[in-house]
Structure 1
Amino acid sequence: MTTDPAPAPAPHQSVLGDAPDVSFLLQHTAHVLTTQMAAALGEIGMSPRAHCVLAHAAQAERTQAQVAELSDLDKTTMVVTVDHLERAGLAERVPSATDRRARIIRVTPAGADVLAAGQQIVDRVHAHVLGALEEPERTAFVSALNRLVNGHLAEPADSPEGVQGVRRPRQART
Structure 2
Amino acid sequence: MSSDLETGPPPAVGRRLGYLLKHAQQQLAELAEPLYGPLGVTGRQLALLALFGDGPARSQQDGAARLGIDRTTMVALVDELEAKDLVRREVAPGDRRKRLVRLTDEGERVRQAGEEATREAEALLLAPLGDGAEQLRTALHRVVRGVVRGE
TM-score range, shorter chain: 0.7 to 0.9
Give 5+ residue unaligned stretches, structure 2. Answer: 1-7
Give 5+ residue unaligned stretches, structure 1. Answer: 1-9, 157-174
Q: Give the direction of change, closer, same or farther, for the CA distance of 1:98–1:128 in structure 2 (3 Å limit).
A: farther
Q: Does 1:115 align with 2:111?
A: yes
- SS of aligned partner of 1:14: helix
Over the residues paired in the alignment, what is the CA RMSD in angstroms?
Answer: 2.1
Of the three residues 60, 64, 82, the one matched with 1:86 is 82
Alignment of 1:93-108 (within 5 A): 93-108=89-104
Structure with greater helix percent: 2
- The residue that corresponds to 2:139 in the other structure is 144
- SS of aligned partner of 2:85: coil
Q: Does 1:67 align with 2:39?
A: no
Q: C-alpha separation between the residues in 2 aligned to 1:47 and 1:80?
A: 14
* Conservation of the 8 A alpha-carbon contact between 2:27 and 2:125: no
Structure with greater strand percent: 2
Q: Does 1:126 align with 2:122?
A: yes
- The residue that corresponds to 1:13 in the other structure is 11
The structure that has the greater radius of gyration is: 1
Per the normalisation by structure 2, the TM-score is 0.82
Deviation at 1:113, TM superposition (A): 1.1
What letter corresponds to residue 11 of structure 1 in structure 2? Answer: P
Higher deviation after alignment, 38-47 or 67-76: 67-76
* Aligned residue-pair number: 142
Percent identity between matched residues is 30
